[in-house]
Structure 1
Amino acid sequence: MASDDLFSDLELETFTRNESKQEKPQLSTTLRKLYAFCRRQAFSSYVASKRNVSGGDSISQPVWYCCDQTLMEPSSVHKHVARTHETEVRQLTEVTFQRLLSQLEDKACEGPLPGDHDKEAVDISSWLPDTAHLTVEDLQKGLGKVLLYYRYFRVDDPYTICAWQKALCEKLHLTGKVRVSTEGINGTVGGTVTATDIYIKTMRSHALFNAMEEEDFKSSDGGADCFSDLRVGVYEEIVPMGVNPDIISYQLAGTHLNPEEFHQEVQSLLSEGGSSRHTVLLDCRNFYESKIGQFSQCLAPNIRKFSYFPDYVDQNLDLFRDKKVLMYCTGGIRCERASAYLLSKEVCKEVYQLKGGIHKYLERFPDGFYRGKLFVFDGRYAISSNADIISECRYCSAPWDQYQLCTTRFCCQLVLSCPACRGVGRTACCSPCQTKARRQGEESCAIGPAKLKEECECTDRRPRIPQDAP
């Protein structure tokens, strides 16, 4: 089913700006992704409805008419629609979403889709390493590591790979998270040096992963205790950007630069005072990551989730127009899809990405242009290669970059609170949470399995998609 079919018979002009604002429905993870897809399609369709090729050359000079304005640039109409017609786009999104759900339900009633038949089970035991010569203590005690890796490639049977990964990690007493998809694998696991070395060797001996090099596995000091458990699953994307991988593929990614090449590019940018009109140094991570560590003079979007990145690009196209973009993230994986998405907008002059991410850059340049801590998604929260502290305590503004969880019950926001402030009970992420923590007399975060995160003042006041002035 082509996505354009969903919009072929919708009357866009029936959506009026005077109708009451509707809240986005509360959905499961799968349906949220579907809703995000419909939202992007609705936005594109609404913009297309304002296009009038009769006002200019039909090939090279389209114009858009909206709200008694003539808009000559795609970025201008995108910004106008995002700022002025959010209600109409939301309503179109919801109509499309319901229609798509109905179509999917109809197809589900017709019977199983092609390829949904039961496949013959694959014997994964031959893919597991022989550990008979090792004791449980060899695998569980001693110095530890945390591995971070990914590989994009075609996976025809992700469920078998998922079962193998789960069995492999359990056999080696590893904890962490592994995401498997038809587009590849993304993992971060912790265990002893012995166990993680066997894990790398086993991965590289598998036919699907033998193209991986040892350097593709980024390592740092840690261990199994950096994660609370082991989670291995099959997902649509190995990094959740919220865009179908068949629409924006990693194969369309930007040009990779090794740490030395990236370092030279940043050096050239900084020699111009960091204010080059021709180059943008773009941090593809979330705001709480860039807050405690970043490259000097970078553009760090104030977004809470990577799935907000596409909308951020859509609403800030002028920031990248005719520019060379130098892009980076933690280990490189987010840049693969982020660079492909940015390139799909056809506004940039060039798009480059740091191969291996900040992890590999810091191995080569521990005292280079990246300052502060590197945020990691495990119990450590951050690792460091230099002594710089670029963030501060939210209460007293003293230099501080050690995250801890908000101490209000069921709130999982991260907070920067220095020892002095924590000593007097300032341990919450925002004023409402601090009041609740005092009232409840809690001293630690207790997360109930069926509870949702609270809506906190510190997140509620943050725009979902900030707009940066060009």
Structure 2
Amino acid sequence: MERVLNISAYLFTRIIDREQLRPVLRERAEAAGLKGTILLAEEGINLFLAGDAEAVRGFVEELRTDSRFAELTTTETWSAEQPFRKMLVKLKREIIRMDHPTIRPAEDRAPAVAPRTLKRWLDQGHDDGGRAIVLLDTRNAFEVDYGTFEGAIDWRIERFTHFPDAASAHRDALEGKTVVSFCTGGIRCEKAAIYLREEGIDALQLDGGILGYFEHVGQDHYDGECFVFDEREALAPDLTPRDGVASSDDAAPAPSTS
């Protein structure tokens, strides 16, 4: 029986007091019996938490009382066991490292396409303007190997900091098309879409990433599972975890989970 609520969430919002916020959030999470990882950077917050459903949702609701986090949205999944070993709150230079300081999603978010709209486009073979759709997987190569959208472009990058160079090298293949960048939960594809638009490519991000697509659409146009950085290892399109997963003591999400 699945009894542990797992959430993933992120929000690009300016945080100038992250050093002071870190112990506050850790104390709240530990008091609620939660485990997982919260990443804090000047550009925003990224969190992966698991525990009793009421406690998890209560933590998020309290977090939203801070105006900076009022628009935080979560993706919920369930597991039979706690998939994290610890409760960590980490300070990072970026919640997902790209090494391009001009990319500031908190100031100018890239346009997004909703999961159900993307499904409709894929069903009909083009967007609403009749343009060809290009699906671009912005995740690391080993994550893509667990599963991806049918026909998606995979540049076999080893880490997200390699994305800008790969995009520049393959720019001609994207030009003149509607590019939908996607990732696990939204962070990488949001930064990727902004970068591509700065390069003159008509790029959108998949709102909520693969997990959001699974939640609202399911398996249509997707092959395989979605890798997640915790002891569940991967989630099926019905958001159930793979069985028999083993993990190390360091099984907690890294910044590249999104």
* Shorter-chain TM band: 0.7 to 0.9
3-state secondary structure, aligned to 2:67: coil
Equivalent position amino acid for 2:233 in 1: Y
Give the CA deviation at 1:277.
8.8
Give the CA deviation at 1:386.
5.6
The structure carrying a bigger helix percent of its residues is 1
Equivalent position amino acid for 1:370 in 2: Y
Larger Rg computed on CA atoms: 1
Corresponding residue for residue 243 of structure 1: 100
Which runs of structure 2 are paired with 1:216-255 in the superposition (5 Å)? 216-222=73-79, 225-244=82-101, 247-250=102-105, 251-255=107-111
Corresponding residue for residue 69 of structure 2: 209
1:181 corresponds to 2:41: yes
Which of 138, 146, 157 pairs up with 2:6?
A: 146
3-state secondary structure, aligned to 1:150: strand
What do residues 415-449 of structure 1 show as CA deviations (whole Å, max 9, x unaligned)?
A: xxxxxxxxxxxxxxxxxxxxxxxxxxxxxx899xx
Shift of the 199–386 alpha-carbon distance from structure 1 to 2, 3 Å rule, reads closer
3-state secondary structure, aligned to 1:208: helix
Residues of 2 paired with 1:222 and 1:257: CA distance?
Answer: 28
Residues of 2 paired with 1:379 and 1:224: CA distance?
Answer: 9
Shift of the 403–332 alpha-carbon distance from structure 1 to 2, 3 Å rule, reads same
Shift of the 291–368 alpha-carbon distance from structure 1 to 2, 3 Å rule, reads same
Runs (4 or more) in structure 1 with deviation over 3 Å come to 276-279, 400-405
Using CA pairs under 8 Å that are at least 6 residues apart, name the structure with larger relative contact order, 1 or 2. 2
Give the CA deviation at 1:377.
0.8
Residues of 2 paired with 1:446 and 1:180: CA distance?
Answer: 22
Residues of 1 paired with 2:64 and 2:135: CA distance?
Answer: 34
Which runs of structure 2 are paired with 1:107-146 in the superposition (5 Å)? 143-146=3-6
Give the CA deviation at 1:185.
0.4
Corresponding residue for residue 364 of structure 1: 216
Structure 1 unmatched runs, 5+:
1-141, 388-399, 406-444, 448-470
Corresponding residue for residue 63 of structure 1: none
3-state secondary structure, aligned to 1:226: coil
Structure 2 unmatched runs, 5+:
251-258
Which of 5, 19, 44 pairs up with 1:159?
A: 19
Shift of the 402–291 alpha-carbon distance from structure 1 to 2, 3 Å rule, reads farther
Give the CA deviation at 1:340.
1.0
What do residues 394-416 of structure 1 show as CA deviations (whole Å, max 9, x unaligned)?
A: xxxxxx998767xxxxxxxxxxx
Corresponding residue for residue 337 of structure 1: 191
3-state secondary structure, aligned to 1:242: coil
Corresponding residue for residue 230 of structure 2: 378
Equivalent position amino acid for 1:287 in 2: A
1:288 corresponds to 2:148: no
Corresponding residue for residue 420 of structure 1: none
Which of 140, 147, 152 pairs up with 1:298?
A: 152
Give the CA deviation at 1:168.
1.3
Shift of the 284–333 alpha-carbon distance from structure 1 to 2, 3 Å rule, reads same
Residues of 2 paired with 1:151 and 1:223: CA distance?
Answer: 27
Which runs of structure 2 are paired with 1:20-31 in the superposition (5 Å)? none
What do residues 10-66 of structure 1 show as CA deviations (whole Å, max 9, x unaligned)?
A: xxxxxxxxxxxxxxxxxxxxxxxxxxxxxxxxxxxxxxxxxxxxxxxxxxxxxxxxx
Residues of 2 paired with 1:256 and 1:174: CA distance?
Answer: 31
Shift of the 404–162 alpha-carbon distance from structure 1 to 2, 3 Å rule, reads same
Give the CA deviation at 1:257.
1.1
Q: What TM-score results when the alignment is normalised by the length of structure 1?
A: 0.48
- Native 8 Å contact 2:214 2:238 kept in 1: no
- Native 8 Å contact 1:145 1:221 kept in 2: yes
Give the CA deviation at 1:176.
1.1
- Native 8 Å contact 1:373 1:401 kept in 2: no
Equivalent position amino acid for 2:218 in 1: P
